[in-house]
Chain A
């Protein structure tokens, strides 16, 4: 017996979660299957819409205003600016992200010491915006090599930020191993666990604040690497603000990224509330199609092939990073439904010689029609009932444009909504 649903979403990253949410909120019976860890684990947790044009102009102040100027085949052009706005409304509905009060991008300090344009940021990053002119103290943790606070502060100054910024490095209170994972720090702060400092035991939050107070001057904002709690991040931040006497913010970090994980959790939570069924950890290994429609996909579970049948399907397996797009020495392909992926025959034409050059690989992905159905090499629709969302869609360089999250949310929204409409 096949597992039945109206809409089946393959992929559990930002695009898959958004499309499942969109379809479920339209009243469809939705099932989501995902295999690998989503790339939200690697992502900073910032939600970018459009920070630079494909020609590298920017930072862009108003991403919506810049969208009509994008190339015709850009996913934002495919779905249209108004739809992007609707999709962002859905995102704002289900998260407590900030930035929705304006169309303008925010410039957020990153752990490398640069600022980057982004449209939405977690509440915990809100006090750190670079367009706020209050002075800043950045606090680094001695054993955390991913964030060198004095260097980041000097780097921000070199970028010309409109505030004074200083970096200090402290030792995290307690007895964490030098190689402790970020989740260890977060857990300790979440639980306000007891730590020993000079023979006295006290809560980790107090002990941390005390350490910071020895280096804190008159700065009105204090930034930490993004380790301030996992489940109770507001409470941790609030406690530190009280004891330090300044606004506290987190600087987004590289992997493993707590803000990315928190966002993933919030979206899964919302999806459950919307009534979708979710299965994680198992790959889609095969499918049946008939007359240009997908009939069944097979999910491999404990060695067995479990048929999953739906009326409409969404492909949201990610790009090269998430392995929704794969390659070998000769070719580039989409491995689940074998949808066409355009690429040069010579693999030496897949990249540019400069590390940050104009890389064709960054644009690898399926080409779609206006309702996001993948297209074959001859321009015909691959499958009538399959839509693509997120990084599996080609035609844009999300890293250079800072557009990854926005495209995932917008295309996920369209794919999910359209699929739900079709089953009505």
Chain B
């Protein structure tokens, strides 16, 4: 047998990582390239809902059936990424009764377990639900951590021999004799894990086949290959609360509309969302009224949201696609189904397929279908195992352990660490060295941070998405410098400092949409800690040289020689 075909997968979201895992498990040679971190695009910007399918049970039953099927699969293979919160479709007095009944029938027709509960029963489950909620349909919705899930898929792919390159942007699709033969890729900091300050460079990656799994970015790759892919990116806002006002996914039971879901996610609750078509998946307006809309509309379901604290808001773009002849004008009418576009059949360009549309919950199924398609190109007959083999972290995991004794951690922190790490807990947390907590809000210890650094280089944002460090109430105010401290030792100080700055800026970005009340007070405190106590805003290491002799050398030395004014060699310092 010759060597297996080499497949280049573009896109490090759930779909790309799922495909990379699937193909590598089937014995193919895989290279995945992603322009940012894993989950950089749409996957990292979703509300974390594990669909039961209930949402689509009226409008799109095919999608609803796929959702419930994959919902069951993910509960098995990704236990450490999933929290089965359950979900409610809640009916307010003004919501249509007929639609409620239709939703119930739809759920049952699609095999989605659905029960009607009274308003009182719903409030017994979720005490903060509005008093006038009449009734609800209970469905098996859940919460899923998209970061953890994608990282686990990538880790599994690596175990099966795949190469994963993040911070690597495709600059060109290489075509010879009417066939795609590979990619030209630009690495931001050399091949392999990202290390700040490492010189980047271009690499030609030859491949026997290319899979374009870039979602909302698919059109850009299509352009490089000279084919049209009419993705219709649609933006949606999500607002993160600082605590879980609800422990169950709360959906509004009405046909369509903005701001109709609250997803409990880890320590937070995420409010969503809107659906508005945009031209460019990276450049679109993010506006305060969208945040206000989330808070005000969802307060109709959970009144306490009106005055609750939000810690940040973010926007994501759905990679919607429909065959151009359908011509929907409203993005909410575009199907959530996925499409496999074989460019040989469609455009006469051999060697590349794009996958567009689809939903996070069905990422594995999409991966399976495209992997089947790729294998067929090479006449390979290999079964898909991604639905049967648990992801790293979800293997043979038996809970019921005394975490405090076992890992020397105080129990809430131990519990949260073990929830995140799943079956990898032993491997990651067993250490003979002291294991202090680095991020207090999310209960992340040094051992977990160091494990993440091992997996992601000097990129603290990659460490963040792996561990949730800096994602809690304080939004990094108390722990960004600690995370940078953990980099040092492995990396030089200037690398750690760059990574630190990048994390500070990233943490600031999303908070901008939450700056009032408690969170503005928190932001002012963080600013004071970073600028006043640490002087990070005017760090002399980043600025002009300082004339140290002009300043107070202590009472033991003579008076400084300096005179009034500003003492820098190069004049004023602009700050960062």
- Which A residues are within 8 Å of any B CB, using their own CB? 39, 42-44, 48, 51-53, 55-62, 64-66, 98-99, 101-102, 104-107, 110-117, 126-127, 129-133, 142-148, 150-151, 154-155, 158-162, 171, 178-179, 252-255, 319-321, 323, 326-329, 346-348, 350-351, 353-356, 359, 361-362, 398-400, 402, 404
Beyond A132-B553, A145-B482, whether A329 also contacts B532 by CB under 8 A is no
Structural contact, B446 and A151, CB atoms closer than 8 A: no
CB proximity of B523 to chain A, nearest CB, Å: 7
State whether B434 touches A171 (Cβ < 8 A): yes
Q: Contacting B574 at CB < 8 Å: which of A56, A129, A351, A404?
A: A56
The B462-483 residues at the A interface (CB cut-off 8 A) are: 478-479, 481-482
Q: Smallest Cβ distance from A143 to chain B, in angstroms?
A: 4
**Contact indicator B566/A320 (Cβ below 8 Å):** no
Contact B531 A399 (CB under 8 A): yes
- Complex: how many Å from CA A111 to CA B545? 20
User: How many angstroms from the CA of A319 to the CA of B541 in the assembled complex?
Assistant: 30
Residues of A within 8 A of B492 (CB): 154
In the complex, what residues of B have CB within 8 A of residue A144's CB?
436
Instruction: Report the minimal beta-carbon distance from A167 to chain B, rounded to whole angstroms.
Output: 9
Please state if A254 and B537 are interface contacts (CB–CB under 8 Å).
no
Contact of A319 with B524 in the complex, beta carbons under 8 Å: yes
Whether the pair B548, A130 counts as a contact (CB closer than 8 A) is: yes
Query: Binary interface profile of B, 274-314, with partner A (CB < 8 Å = 1, else 0)?
Result: 00000000000000100010000000000000000000000
Q: Does B339 contact A (CB under 8 A)?
A: no
Q: Which residues of B contact A (CB under 8 A)?
A: 288, 292, 408, 410, 413, 433-438, 446, 478-479, 481-482, 484-486, 488-489, 492-494, 496-497, 504-505, 507-508, 512, 515-517, 520-521, 523-525, 527-541, 545-546, 548-557, 559-560, 562-568, 572-576
| B548–A161 touching, CB < 8 Å | yes
Q: A179-B437, A254-B478, A362-B524 are in contact. Are A104 and B562 (CB under 8 A)?
A: yes
**Beta-carbon contact of A112 and B523 below 8 Å:** no
Q: How far is the CA of A80 from the CA of B566 in the complex (A)?
A: 20
Q: Say which residue of B493, B535, B555 sits within 8 Å of A126 (CB atoms).
A: B555
**Complex interface: chain A residues within 8 A of B539 (CB):** 114, 159
Residues of A within 8 A of B524 (CB): 319-321, 361-362
Return the contact of A129 from the options B504, B537, B554 (Cβ within 8 A). Answer: B554
Q: Whole-angstrom distance between the alpha carbons of A164 and B554 in the complex?
A: 18
Contacts of B560 in A (CB 8 A): 61, 102, 104, 131
CB distance from A257 to the nearest CB of B (A): 8
Residue in B413, B508, B565 whose beta carbon sits within 8 Å of that of A61 in the complex: B565
Cα A99 to Cα B560 in complex, Å, equals: 12
- The smallest C-beta distance from A401 to any residue of chain B, in angstroms, reads 9
Check A114–B535 contact: CB distance below 8 A. Answer: yes
Additional A-B contacts beyond A114-B536, A148-B484, A356-B527 (19; CB < 8 A): A56-B574, A104-B550, A106-B551, A106-B554, A107-B552, A111-B533, A116-B532, A130-B551, A131-B553, A143-B434, A145-B437, A146-B481, A178-B434, A178-B435, A348-B288, A356-B575, A398-B532, A399-B530, A400-B537
Most buried by B among A113, A129, A155, A160: A113
Assess the B551–A155 pair: CB atoms within 8 A: no
Give Cα A62–Cα B551 distance, bound, in whole angstroms: 9
